[in-house]
């Protein structure tokens, strides 16, 4: 049954520290010990590996990690205790999985996803070779109002290049961020936005799409754009136009996304560049680096502008910040 408690729980499991001859038995026992919600059966002639974390949130279950040499099975009898938790979205991050349900079989490759249901026939997912994947356990009653004919979406391949699925793959990383799950309100927000992204990925109703666009999709796009900025800080021509083009949105819409988050593209870019410069300047291992080289590395093309911005933000010049860090280290050494 999907958790209705506000307090999040997580379970970590790995066969990596077990002798090879014990791994098959350990994997079989996971379902019996209620560590996983789907049966795992070792496949013949395939090395068995299971290394994953399971998060239990209000209205949502998440299993993320690596599996190989196993067959997952979801049956109707297993869900007889409740009718509210019998949908699973499997997202294949890397590797190949074979999903089978209702007499059909689908191959999932890097980035693909599929919705499965614990209906009368149940389903199986085979992973003879190593697969990095995430499984979302969803409440049908929460998803149905957002999706056009949920049952029609079952066993329909969601290609890796689906826009909403790309955002979902990025957003799933939020569960590993303790700050994002720190309070009940934040946890409920994460769950709501996850459902929005799932609905958009598998085919939201017109009303559901409008709701998702205003909640989950917007939050996920903003998060993806912020990640993009962090990954490309050193690029001096990191502009609104360039970032918007990479994310297939207009510069105007990008500005609106930042406004909804209470900041601007320029402010975030400046703060992140200054923060990275400060880390580099105060790292004793990089004491021989010149201030100019640090400024250029984090994307500043104008040294005077860098110095002014740094002093305004940190209350000290770059050289003073470096000296202060060196003095603190020296005091600690005594």
Q: How would DSSP label each residue in 41-109?
A: EEPTTS--EEEEEEEEETTEEEEEEEEESEEEEE-TGGGTT-SSS-EEEEEEEES-EEEEETTEEEEE-
Share of the chain above pLDDT 70, in %: 86
Domain ranges of the chain: 9-225
pLDDT at 325: 81
- Reported as a single tens digit per residue, the pLDDT across 152-162 is 889 989 999 88
Cα distances (angstroms) measured from residue 253 to each of 7, 240, 241, 243, 250? 35, 10, 11, 11, 5
pLDDT at 187: 77
Average pLDDT over all residues of the chain: 83
pLDDT at 277: 92
**Number of neighbours of residue 266 by Cβ within 10 angstroms:** 12
pLDDT at 219: 73
Residue with the bigger pLDDT between 175 and 13: it is: 13
Region 195-222: what's the mean pLDDT?
A: 67
Q: Is 203 left (phi over 0), alpha (psi -120 to 50) or beta?
A: left
Residue with the bigger pLDDT between 212 and 321: it is: 321
pLDDT at 298: 92
- Reported as a single tens digit per residue, the pLDDT across 79-131 is 444 445 579 999 999 999 999 998 889 999 999 999 998 876 789 999 999 99
- Reported as a single tens digit per residue, the pLDDT across 279-297 is 999 988 888 889 999 999 9
Share of the chain above pLDDT 90, in %: 38
- Reported as a single tens digit per residue, the pLDDT across 220-278 is 778 788 888 888 888 878 899 998 888 888 888 889 888 877 889 999 999 999 999 99
pLDDT at residue 1 is higher than 60 = no
Q: What is the pTM of this model?
A: 0.66
Residue with the bigger pLDDT between 224 and 18: it is: 18
pLDDT at residue 169 is higher than 70 = yes
Helices and strands (H and E) in the chain: how many: 13, 11
CATH of 9-225, one of 3.40.950.10, 2.60.120.10, 3.40.50.10480, 1.10.150.120: 2.60.120.10
pLDDT at 122: 84
Q: Which residues contact 268 (CB under 8 A, 6 or more apart)?
A: 226, 229, 258
pLDDT at 208: 44
Region 12-29: what's the mean pLDDT?
A: 93
pLDDT at residue 35 is higher than 70 = yes
Residue with the bigger pLDDT between 203 and 54: it is: 54
């Amino acid at each position: 049954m999907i958790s209705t408690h506000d307090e999040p729980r997580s379970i970590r499991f790995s066969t990596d520290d077990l002798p090879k001859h014990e791994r098959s038995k350990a994997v079989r026992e996971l379902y019996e010990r209620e560590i996983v919600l789907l049966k795992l059966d070792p496949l013949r002639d395939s090395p068995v590996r299971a290394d994953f974390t399971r998060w239990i949130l209000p209205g949502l279950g998440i299993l993320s990690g690596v599996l190989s040499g196993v067959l997952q099975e979801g049956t109707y009898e297993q869900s007889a205790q409740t009718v509210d938790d019998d949908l699973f979205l499997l997202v294949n991050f890397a590797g190949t999985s074979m999903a089978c349900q209702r007499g059909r079989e689908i191959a999932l490759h890097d980035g693909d996803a599929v919705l499965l249901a614990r209906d009368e026939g149940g389903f199986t997912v085979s992973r003879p070779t190593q697969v990095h994947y995430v499984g979302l356990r969803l409440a049908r009653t929460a998803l149905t109002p957002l999706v056009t004919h949920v049952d029609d979406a079952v066993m329909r391949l969601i290609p890796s290049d689906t826009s909403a699925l790309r955002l979902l793959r990025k957003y799933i990383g939020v569960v590993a961020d303790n700050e994002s799950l720190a309070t009940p309100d934040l946890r409920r927000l994460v769950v709501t936005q996850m459902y929005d992204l799932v609905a958009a990925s598998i085919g939201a109703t017109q009303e559901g799409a409008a709701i998702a666009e205003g909640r989950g999709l917007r939050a996920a796009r903003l998060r993806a754009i912020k990640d993009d900025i962090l990954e490309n800080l050193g690029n001096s021509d990191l502009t609104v136009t360039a970032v918007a083009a990479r994310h297939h949105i207009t510069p105007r819409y990008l500005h609106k996304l930042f406004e909804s988050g209470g900041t601007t593209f320029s402010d975030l870019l400046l703060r992140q560049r200054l923060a990275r410069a400060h880390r580099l300047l105060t790292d004793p291992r990089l004491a021989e680096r010149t201030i100019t080289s640090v400024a250029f590395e984090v994307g500043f093309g104008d040294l005077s502008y860098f110095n002014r911005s740094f002093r305004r933000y940190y209350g000290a010049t770059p050289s003073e910040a470096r000296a202060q860090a060196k003095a603190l280290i020296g005091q600690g050494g005594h």
